[in-house]
Structure 1
């Protein structure tokens, strides 16, 4: 009998945006647009220049917020409230995902560069909030975003998680580098029906990097497959 590669996992860690809900729902697109608007209002730049600046901060600092804090000395609360003031009603409950998460052995967590409030709103819409032991957002991370190593360490320490017995699910390949180094199982979640992440060129991934153990475009089905392996 072949042992499941997830047999030792007792902590299941999920990114939020474009991971726990499908990329095609375009929820994060609303956040992205709000970030561009915030940068435009802050800097007075034309929309296209503000957008370019936003993306450059995201690329260099991990989040637009981190770039604005370091380059413009903004207070984070105003930004976080503004960009997460979106319509969450585009999300529908996902009983199939809820059932899978509920059956995973051990404990489940959300680790996001967004706010805890936003994560709770998303989880509530999906009907999965009650399955999570902790929701760890950007404020809990001391405003230091993934992929910074200290953010993962802070999260693991807070929840007394042993990395070698954990699995990380993410839609951004670069955010799986540190988890892989720490000894976690890593799963890249890509848009529905694809095997590629269609974002900025520097973010493109086909999941072939050595720090990506598995790739899936259907998280709920992937989790149910794991459950089937663990029962065999």
Structure 2
């Protein structure tokens, strides 16, 4: 396979492979991926649409203006992990109505990602999506990217009984549902705080950072600290397809 790649691509794969070996991915048999801003780049601005819909939902729910709704949205996100969890906990909100509204967006901004699909397909073992979004939204994203058939399951917020990441309870429920051994799993996320629990459980953790710079990845709800790597982050990559291709090579050697 490497003979078919240009020298620059071979060099990048070699760098990724060396880092992968250093981080000990050779024992991993389960690959777990966040969805939004992880499987697709933030530059697509798909999540910006969701973010705007959440603000509109909060504004309509309370009859307040957009600025006030944004402040309340940020409060829920910081205190409860997601706006949905805050609305459910403090207002008794119907989650299905919320999810249907905020995920009614234009998914056509996403384009097929054949390099990503090929890299995921080469990973040995089981593959999952673990998202705080809805299954319907995740399926539409995966279909647009061309990776829908590569995952054993999409574990969405409903499957988690609406307990969101970064709560360890969400990860514990996922592991139990699918019989996954955390020390043999790897987790890929765009938010560093969502890697704290996986790292504590023994997973290899990878922070997927946007190539165009961390500032471009920030929607108006998250903050800079969400993207800062710490001891719970084993590796940071701005090239998910390249990194996964290297992991597949390492795992098969």
- Shared fold by TM > 0.5? yes
Higher RCO (CA < 8 A, seq sep 6+): 2
Q: Which residue of 2 aligns with 1:129?
A: 148
Please tell me whether residue 206 in structure 1 is matched to residue 225 in structure 2: no
Alpha-carbon distance change, 98 to 154 in structure 1, aligned in 2, over 3 angstroms: same
* Aligned-residue offset at 1:187: 0.1
Q: Structure 2: where are the runs of 5+ without partners?
A: 1-17
Structure number with the higher helix fraction is 2
The two structures, once aligned, show a CA RMSD in angstroms of 1.6
What is residue 12 of structure 2 aligned with on the other side?
none
Distance of 1:106 and 1:136 partners within structure 2: 17
Mapped to 2, the partners of 1:227 and 1:196 lie a distance apart of 30
Unaligned 5+ segments in structure 1 are: none
Q: Of residues 15, 29, 32 in structure 2, which corresponds to 1:10? A: 29
TM-score (norm 1): 0.95
CA distance in 1, matches of 2:62, 2:81: 20
TM-score by length of 2: 0.87
Deviation string 1:65-115 (CA, Å, 9 cap, x unpaired) is 011111211111110100000000000011100001001010100000000
The answer to whether the 8 Å contact 1:197/1:203 transfers is no
Deviation at 1:192, TM superposition (A): 2.0
Q: Say which SS state the counterpart of residue 236 (structure 2) adopts.
A: strand
Answering whether residue 241 of structure 2 is matched by residue 225 of structure 1, we say no
Q: 2:82 aligns with which of 54, 57, 63?
A: 63
Count of aligned pairs between the two proteins:
230
Tell me the CA shift for residue 231 of structure 1: 4.3
Assess if the C-alpha contact under 8 Å between 2:43 and 2:216 holds in 1.
Answer: no
